[in-house]
Amino acid sequence: MSVLPTPPLLASLNYVDILRNASVLELVVFLLLVAVSVMSWAIIAMKSRQLSVARAQSLSFLDTFWKASRLDAIYQTARKLESSPISKVFCAGYEELSKLAQVKDGNEGAMAERLGGIENVERALIRASTTQITELEARVSFLGTVGAAAPFVGLFGTVVGILNAFNSIAEQGNATLATVAAPVGNALFATAAGLFAAIPAVVAYNSFVSRIRVFDTEMSNFSADFLNIIKRHFFK
């Protein structure tokens, strides 16, 4: 059985030579793409862990919430689940409810006037949900920016490399395929680097946005259920 020959381009591709022959501007583009790629992978690892822990703790909190019979017991459990956005929303609502209960014990007639009753709890839940979404979305926009801009940065490096290649060819007065192919091929390496940085960032960005949207929906649903429970038991 005959072995297929290795494609000449892959066999002769030398990344050290590509960087050695690159201009200063091309090197800047390469370094920029490498830097954003490293940052993107760091953010991907960090956000993946954050969202995974948030998901696990949120499921644990919801299981406790629907099985427990006392809000104070749920609150003690929720305070331990610091990575769960839903538990943070509950804590904010419970703490506001506790303030209302204290005012009610002191002066029942002034409770609605001073604290707005159930509306205060609802506002606390909304504020907590907004805060949690902001925390979950932190640094995710960077991935979207890398995914959108990195290919163009790489293309810019390619254009600069091709311009330098043609200028060098014009100075030498030799435009054979052998003299054109290598510098143009090296210039295209910048586009490849841009795509290498952009593709993981785009995939991760879309995945994170989808998962955060699920958290947003779950917090909204939980807030509605929590308010209904409060209305039935505390604001009859």
Q: CB neighbours of 18 closer than 8 A, spacing ≥ 6? A: 186, 189
Q: Give tens-digit pLDDT for 146-157.
A: 999 999 999 998
pLDDT band for position 97 (cuts 50, 70, 90) = confident
Residue 90, pLDDT > 50, answer yes
Residue 31, pLDDT > 50, answer yes
Residue 97: what are its φ and ψ, rounded to 5°?
A: -65, -35
Q: CB neighbours of 166 closer than 8 A, spacing ≥ 6? A: none
**Measured between alpha carbons, how far is 78 from 93 in angstroms, rounded to an integer?**
12
Per the model's pLDDT, the better-predicted residue between 213 and 10 turns out to be 213
Q: What is the pLDDT of residue 99?
A: 81
